[in-house]
Structure 1
Amino acid sequence: MSASLPLKTTTPPAPVQQGRLQDDIRGLYQQTPASLIANTVGVLLIYGMFWRATPAVNMVAWLVPFFGLMLLRWLLYRRYPQVAELGIDALLRWRRQWNTLTVVSGLFWGVGVWLLYEWGDTAQKTALIVTVYAYTLGAIQLLAHQGAVFHVFAAATLLPIAARVLYSGGVSDIELAAMIVFVFMIAAIMGRNYRKVYDNIVELKVRTEHLMEQLRTEKIAAEEARRQAEVANRAKTQFFAAASHDLRQPLHALGLFAEALRQKSRNDAEVSQLVNSINSSVDALEGLFSELLDITRIDTGGVDPNPQDFSVRDIFGRLRLTFEPTAFEKGLVLDFRGERHYAHADPLLVERILRNLVSNAIRYTEDGGILVTCRTSGGQLKLQVWDTGVGIAEKERSRIFEEFYQVQGGRPLEAHHRKGLGLGLAIVKRLADLMRAPLSVRSVPGRGSVFTLVLPIGSPPRVAGPAAAPKGPIGLTLDHRLIVVVEDEPAVSEALEVLLKGWGASVVSFDSVTNARAWALAQDPLRVKPDLLIVDYRLPEGSTGIDAIVALRGHFGPVPTIMVTGSTMSGHEEDARRHDFHLLVKPVVPNKLRAMIAFKLGVR
């Protein structure tokens, strides 16, 4: 029925085709008033030209049925809103009725020519034919998209005129009749062409609606997939947080037990060496947890860059303190150059990137050294980490920033090379992307590699006051100090108790808020008052360390407090400010715990 476009898409679904039919019928309804007005005006014009010359019976025989027909069409027009509510079948019946009345009205124009033609002069006859032809052309837009309906209408309108002119019998009449037939053929061709154009337009509209429906469906599916991905990301984050919390507990206890063992065996070099090995293993596991959690934070949008101007010297100084002992132990040279520069970026993220790069460089370098440089180039700052290590083959450079991928190299990796999960460079790449800082690598297998991070050049900050002189190690004694520990993990509680008693403190331990509160209520605050509280964050019965702090301070008054937690995914800064406590994340290095206790108790 309709013309096909050069590129045919899949057939639109039934609802779309039904929508097209409804649009067609709605178009007929909307154009009916204009059609009725045009017919009425045309009839009045013809009546004005022929009423004097034409017998009254002829005029009445034409006008009365014609206006009766117009009334029927008007009533049909008024019925449309009720019919539209009954569905597509009722609309199709309405269209058939509309088409029938329209074709009959065209036939009345043809009959009118039979009744009026012979009574007019040449001017009136010409006006009659032109009026009917104009009415026929006007129906193209209204009926041509229905094909056969328009052809029947045009035949009912024009062919009676040709027959009436031919019936006159003159030579000029024959020529005029032939011309009218030719005009009918032209009108039929115009109607067919209009129908093709109309069908193409409607086809495009239908395709557009079909594509829009597909787009809406795909958008809904994409939104659902995004929502599921967000749920999966949150689940992954929660899993890592829970796993980290649970795995840090025994590590925390292990470190505390190791330090307690050192305290009891200060003169035994072999025991000290074992303690050092234990602490190294704890530090390694802590590093693995940190890498996993860093990846999780970055993936879930938990890291927000905070760009500012900072001194490269400060970061290089901290890197030197951290890595010089490790490099020295392996017989490597660790050198820093270009410390005078200033960069504009997030100093914490930049330092984390450099720490991972320097750590990797030391791990994969057996001879020579590592050079960390900073220089300007093209109006930007280039931070580079050079090494003389095993290098990276060209085929592996595209994968070194993937999670859990470790360079294999040309020879088997030694134990310290395999240490880790292969997340260091993945974290480096994601942090660089987060800051929109270009990161690149060049490498020659067997000779070494250089990683380059490009940052904007910063400005020197305002000069601050002189820094306080660093203090030496704290010699901590807790004699005559009462420390209350609220910790539900038996191993951690026991390790803390052993360590604190080794430092001279008296320790009271509880595994729940309920037990701690019961003990507090049984004490006389004038005779017994804790000097320090050390509480875990997650406690049994749905309680938290904050509940323990509130319960104990409610009886004893303000008591210095240290909160220890194995979770690094939830920020407690607001809780710490509101309840006046300091936070340590498990596993807690004994030296850090000792320094925090000294700070909270005011030991100098």
Structure 2
Amino acid sequence: MVTGALHLPDTSPGPQDTPLAPSPDDRALAQDSARLVYRQTSAALMGHFLGFVVTTLVYWEHVPRPWLWAWSAAFALLWVARFVNLLSYERAVRQGPIDAQRWLRSWNTGALIGASLWSVAAVLFYHHGGHFERTALMLTVYSFAIGAVPYMSSQPRLFLACMGLYFIPMIVHTALLGGADNVYLAGIWSLMCLCTLAMGRAFHNMFGEMVSLRLHTQQLAQRLRTEMAAAESAQHQAELANRAKTQFFAAASHDLRQPLHALGLFAEALRQRCKDDEVAHLVHSINSSVDALEGLFSELLDITKIDTGGIDIQPEHIPLRGLFERLRLTFEPTAFEKGLSLRFHGARHHVYADPLVVERILRNLISNAIRYTEDGGVLVSCRPRGDHLCLQVWDSGLGILPKEQERIFEEFYQTQSKRPLEPHHRKGLGLGLAIVKRLAKLMDAPLTLRSRVGHGTVFTVLLPVGKAVRAPVADTPPRARTPLTLDRRHIVVVEDEPAVAEGLEILLKGWGATVSAFDTLDAVAAWAAHTQVPPDLLIADYRLPEQRTGIEVIHLMRAHFGAALPVIMVTGSTMSGHETEARSEDFHLLLKPVIPTRLRALIAFKLGQR
């Protein structure tokens, strides 16, 4: 019936030559056909009931009563059966998947019997009564034929059979009555039949396209579900790989920092014992290399912590004066060594941001500026811009080519210049600016740069204006610093790495301290149980054998010698958030490799505090 459209299976009742299993497309078509016909059944039953009432009332006085009662009884039985069938179908759908073919056969049987009853009415009732009764009968039968087009056209054989039952008996019976009027009326019925068949073909094509589109949509949806499952699996694998990378960096950091830490301690002990200038210069070079490696580790771990969400932004009101002073103390010697000036302007301002993140951003920018500046200097400034403050780092260095100004924020990328780079320019992994960009993004702080090759660069971070905090009570003016001496100071060292423990012991003894070194928690406990005099300081590694930690050592020592015992915790791991533990347990944290000068300064601070 349809050329070029989707093939629709024949679901009308009849013998099957070969009982083949239905294909997925056939099952989908059967599901659609069953849903279509049963969705229209309630309206169709109502229409048939009204047609039955009209026909019975019109022919009540014209058709012999036995015929009329027999036809009415048959119609009533069929109507009740089809209504029960509709209720059963709806209950079956609510209970779960259905056999659409079986329900279609049941519905088609009822439809064929209903069309047959109206065909019988056309043959038996037509020659009874006058023009009004015939017209009413013809309009009733035609209305059912037209009404069946939308939902029967999905099943071609059923549609043709029902249309034949509606039209052919009426056409033949009218023509056989004879007379010009009846022949003319039979011709009109034939045209109406052809029009109805054409409408059925149009609906059949539309239904085929609808089912084809639905099947295509289902295929696309299934493909989308498959691709989404694959994407979710890939995302899960990527997350596992990311966690594995994080764990690798944490383990590698801890394991690689241990020998570096020991190397720095041995080098400093060697420098103290040897007065030869050349050896002192070599020791200085060793310490510089250790410091450089520590910087590389910090950059790699910063990137890892940012990517894994290990940094929580905790904004507060920051006075820039203290921040600028810390940065000055850190970078002024380096700038002085290169013959550069390092200036700070705008220290009176306050910003509202995370102090650690802001300091890390400025440290990376200042370090980068000093590295790539040979003449002139570096300026760190802060000035207002509306409701925000511009925190800027200016330099008079090499400058950045316009085509590279976007790429310099990428990982492992280092700027190229028309001038050849010196070895200290190539120092590092090219992660400093990548870290700056990611940290600025974490704070929602816009980061921009302007640069001219050969004239310098300025980086700008836009931060919210902060409020002035109450100034702390001024302390007693500091006394003049004297070289650190640990004479008559007793320091307990808990370190399971033999090389690190040995280097730390040699260094502390070189500063005049008495050292008690242990490698396990049990050894510390045994010593503390037989010692009455408290030590002056505890230096403990975080990770100890047998899954013990330095926190347990702190608890043990303070339980024996009092809660005021000063503690320095040393660790090679930067991925576990030890800062929170440091605040809660009241100790200071040093990351391996520890630069000896930092260790001396912190020891002096802890002993002075006590």
TM-score class, shorter-chain normalisation, is: 0.7 to 0.9
User: Who is 2:148 aligned against?
Assistant: 139
Match of 2:406? 398
Structure 1 residue 583 and structure 2 residue 596: aligned?
A: no
Between the aligned partners of 2:345 and 2:584, the Cα distance in structure 1 is: 44
Q: What letter corresponds to residue 367 of structure 2 in structure 1?
A: S
The residue correspondences of 1:270-289 to structure 2 (distance < 5 A) are: 270-289=278-297
Alpha-carbon offset, residue 289 of structure 1: 0.8
Q: What is the CA RMSD across the aligned residues, in angstroms?
A: 3.2
Aligned CA distance change for structure 1 residues 594 and 315 (closer, same or farther; 3 Å): closer
Q: Distance in 2 between matches of 1:547 and 1:456?
A: 41
Q: Which moved more, 1:123-132 or 1:367-376?
A: 367-376
Aligned residue runs from structure 1 range 309-348, under 5 A: 309-348=317-356
2:160 alignment partner in structure 1: 151
Indicate yes or no: 2:267 matched with 1:258.
Answer: yes
Report the equivalent of 2:535. 530
- Rate the CA distance shift 1:374–1:426 in 2: closer, same or farther, 3 A: same
Which of residues 162, 172, 187 is equivalent to 1:178? 187
Say which of 425, 440, 444 aligns to 2:448: 440
The corresponding residue for 1:192 is 201
Q: Distance in 2 between matches of 1:388 and 1:321?
A: 21
1:427-468 deviations in whole A, cap 9, x for unaligned?
1221222223332333333x1332332414514414414543
Q: Is the 8 A contact 2:447 2:462 kept in 1?
A: no
* In 1: Cα distance, 2:24 partner to 2:595 partner: 69
Q: CA deviation at 1:399?
A: 1.8
| More deviation, 423-432/314-323 | 314-323
User: What is the DSSP-based 3-state SS (H/G/I as helix, E as strand, rest coil) of the residue aligned with 2:344?
Assistant: strand
Match status 1:517 vs 2:525: yes
Q: Which amino acid in 1 is paired with 2:544?
A: L
Q: In structure 1, what is the Cα distance between the partners aligned to 2:221 and 2:358?
A: 46
8 Å CA contact 1:309, 1:460 repeated in 2: yes
Between 1:550-559 and 1:283-292, the stretch displaced more is 550-559
* 8 A Cα contact 1:374 1:384, kept in partner: yes
TM-score of the two chains, using structure 2 as the length reference:
0.87
The letter for the 1-side match of 2:573 is: S
SS at structure 2 position matched to 1:374:
strand
Counterpart among 217, 228, 237 of residue 219 in structure 1: 228
Aligned to 1:364: 372
Q: What's the CA shift for 1:488?
A: 0.8
Post-superposition CA distance 1:203-239 (Å, at most 9, x none): 4444444444333333333332222222222211111
CA distance in 2, matches of 1:39, 1:303: 74
Name the SS of the counterpart of 1:370 in structure 2: strand
Give yes or no for contact 2:400–2:457 (8 Å, CA) kept in 1. Answer: no
Partner residue of 1:453? 460
Task: Give the deviation of 1:313 after TM superposition.
Answer: 4.2
| Alignment equivalent of 1:388, drawn from 387, 391, 396 | 396
Check the 8 A contact 1:386/1:448 in 2, yes or no: no
In structure 2, C-alpha distance between the alignment counterparts of 1:603 and 1:338, rounded to whole Å: 32
Q: Match for residue 244 of structure 1? A: 253
Instruction: Give the 3 Å change call, closer, same or farther, for CA 460–582 of structure 1 in structure 2.
Output: closer
Retained in 2: the 8 A contact 1:69–1:101? yes
Aligned equivalents of 2:25, 2:370: Cα separation in 1: 67
**Distance 1:428-1:554 versus aligned 2 partners, 3 A rule:** closer
Q: Report the CA distance shift for 1:364/1:23 in structure 2 as closer, same or farther (over 3 A).
A: same
Count of aligned positions: 590
Query: Sequence identity of aligned pairs in percent?
Result: 54
Tell me which amino acid in the other structure corresponds to 2:547: G
Residue 382 of structure 2: aligned partner: 374
**Distance in 2 (alpha carbons) for counterparts of 1:26 and 1:441:** 65
Cα separation, 1, equivalents of 2:213 and 2:3: 12
Which blocks of at least 5 consecutive residues in structure 2 are unaligned? 7-22
Amino acid of the structure 2 residue aligned with 1:256 = L
> Mean alpha-carbon deviation: is it higher for 233-242 or for 453-462?
453-462
Which is worse superposed, 466-475 or 47-56? 466-475
Q: 1:474, 1:595 within 8 Å by CA — same for their partners in 2? A: no
Q: Is the 8 A contact 1:437 1:453 kept in 2?
A: no
Deviation for aligned residue 1:82: 9.5
TM-score (norm 1): 0.87
The alpha-carbon deviation at position 403 of structure 1 amounts to: 0.9
1:130 is the counterpart of 2:139: yes
Q: Which residue of 2 is the match for residue 549 of structure 1?
A: 554
